[in-house]
Amino acid sequence: MLDPDANRDSPAAVLEEAPAAVLEEGSLDPIYEAKAKVLNKAIQDIGMGRYQWQLFIVVGFGWASDNLWPIVTSLIFTPVKNEFHPTRAPFLTLAQNIGLLFGAIFWGFGCDIFGRRWAFNLTIGITAFFGMVAAGSPNFAAIGVFAALWSVGVGGNLPIDSAIFLEFLPGSHQYLLTILSIDWALAQVIATLIAWPLLGNLTCQQSDTNCTRSKNMGWRYFMITIGGIALIMFFLRFVCFTIYESPKYLMGKGRDADAVKIVHEVARRNGKTSTLTLEDLQVFDSLLESPIAQRPAASTAIRRNLEKVNFAHIKALFATRKLAFSTSLITLIWAFIGLGFPLYNAFLPYIQATRGADFGDGSTYLTYRNALIIAILGIPGCLLGGLLVELPHIGRKGTLSVSTILTGVFLFCSTTALTSDALLGWNCAYNFMSNIMYAVLYAYTPEIFPTKDRGTGNAITASANRVFGIMAPIIAMFANLQTSAPVYVSGALFIAAGTLVLVLPFESRGKASL
């Protein structure tokens, strides 16, 4: 950074020292782009320290919640159905997906307007509250409503958490966004371990025709336990950790002084100092006609004050042909995966029931043993993903493409299993590859959006994912469940998504996000 007491280097020289950016020069408002590069250098100079490692932990709660609560819905699905005897049980999954969609839209778009801090803290709090309240549901309609409400909180976790973590990371450590998915995998293990004693021993069996509340309390205890874990996460985030607003978000709102103040505060928390000054940012405001700003002044008229709700953030993601192509393509990829994943899960019971007696004999031990084995294999998948994304010639796009295609291939292979052990093997391979896929997808997506529009970009992709996810339970309600055809469709969707990844125009390996 520039020392205000020394002879000041030219702004162009400062930009030369900034880390290389993911988006090509000229993709964004030139003044915003220049200031973002200065802030990137300031964060890089501070380095990875105490504040970022603490943030790594609390942001991981959001990753865990994103996977934990959809698993909760699938685990309580059968005991809830046995107790309430709904006409169309998949409405529970549908209610959850509608809540996830609303959460992704509200929190994703909202955090670009009212900031990251409050959204970061409120999402898990909402999830914890409605998750525990759901344990007292008197009927199927009530549990459906509560599933939608807790999912409103869940739906906002990744759009916000990925944005705020990325915006404090030095460019040299952006791979940690991929490693964060280890929390996503651990959540699956934790949910399975808690479900084993509670749902395995304290719920009605399939053969029980008189399933009363007193005989089916396991799923209610399970909801209280998982909700309690979310409440602890909320306490640690809200009370034990001070989250700062993103400097680049503040700069994008015209609050340069606040952005500089936050950079110095992060440096202090890390036991370091920063030489960033307000003049380092404001010097670019007088350069509208300089070679740095190649666009006409009209393109720099984006007001950095508090904004009203409008389409400015959406338009910014389609400002150039390359940006528009990138945004459209990553949204389509999220949509394909959004349908493929729940579609496979919706028809998995048929595959299981036809692949060996030990999947169909109601054995609690085998059910949860197999679920635990599959869940555990997701952990090394996330770690491997974090390694692969940093390798030359592979990077984000190569890792994402190969893992997504192999996820689809293993889904195809699962239909060939003749025994439950064979099906378990293919499901282990599928889960391993899908965890790599999700780890990279959740990291790469926010990297290719500029900070001032990142929440909106995350909201668009997550919304596409959730809209197509809503289609899966609808298909399950009206389609023939006694067929493997939807599994083939699911596999094809993953393979198509993996192929599309190769056409994405930006590779973010070794580059800092703007």
Which one is predicted more confidently, 248 or 25? 248
Judge residue 390's burial from the number of C-beta atoms within 10 Å of its C-beta, 0-12 exposed, 13-18 middle, 19 or more buried: middle
| pLDDT of 10 | 56
Which one is predicted more confidently, 482 or 380? 380
- Rounded Cα distance between 156 and 159, Å, is 6
Does residue 205 surpass a pLDDT of 80? Answer: no
Percent of the chain with pLDDT over 70: 84
**Strands (DSSP E) found in 66-172:** none
161-182 tens-digit pLDDT: 888 888 898 888 888 888 988 9
Does residue 121 surpass a pLDDT of 80? Answer: yes
Neighbours of 376 (CB within 10 A): 16
Does residue 5 surpass a pLDDT of 80? Answer: no
512 strand-pairing partners: 21
Buried b (16+ CB within 10 A) or exposed e, 281-318: bebbeeeeeeebbeeeeeeeebebeebeeeebbbebbe
Which one is predicted more confidently, 349 or 421? 421
| pLDDT of 477 | 75
Does residue 210 surpass a pLDDT of 90? Answer: no
Q: Is 263 left (phi over 0), alpha (psi -120 to 50) or beta?
A: alpha
Which of the four pLDDT bands, split at 50, 70 and 90, describes residue 350? low
Instruction: Give mean pLDDT, residues 477-506.
Output: 86
Where in the chain are the domains? 50-244+319-501
In the chain, what is the straight-line distance between the N-terminal and C-terminal CA atoms, in Å?
17
Which one is predicted more confidently, 145 or 366? 145
| pLDDT of 358 | 42
- Rounded Cα distance between 260 and 180, Å, is 27
21 strand-pairing partners: 512
Which of the four pLDDT bands, split at 50, 70 and 90, describes residue 333? very high
Which one is predicted more confidently, 6 or 218? 218
| pLDDT of 16 | 60
212-237 tens-digit pLDDT: 898 899 999 999 999 999 999 999 99
Percent of the chain with pLDDT over 90: 39
Q: Are 275 and 3 in contact (CB under 8 A)?
A: yes
303-322 tens-digit pLDDT: 443 344 457 778 888 888 88
Does residue 82 surpass a pLDDT of 50? Answer: yes
Which of the four pLDDT bands, split at 50, 70 and 90, describes residue 8? very low
262-286 tens-digit pLDDT: 999 999 999 999 988 888 888 887 6
Residue with tokens 């393509």: 329
Which stretch of 305-314, 324-333, 503-512 has the lowest confidence by average pLDDT?
305-314
**Domain 50-244+319-501 falls under CATH 2.60.40.10:** no
Instruction: Give mean pLDDT, residues 396-423.
Output: 90
| pLDDT of 37 | 85
HSE-up (13 A, CA, CB side) for residue 470: 14
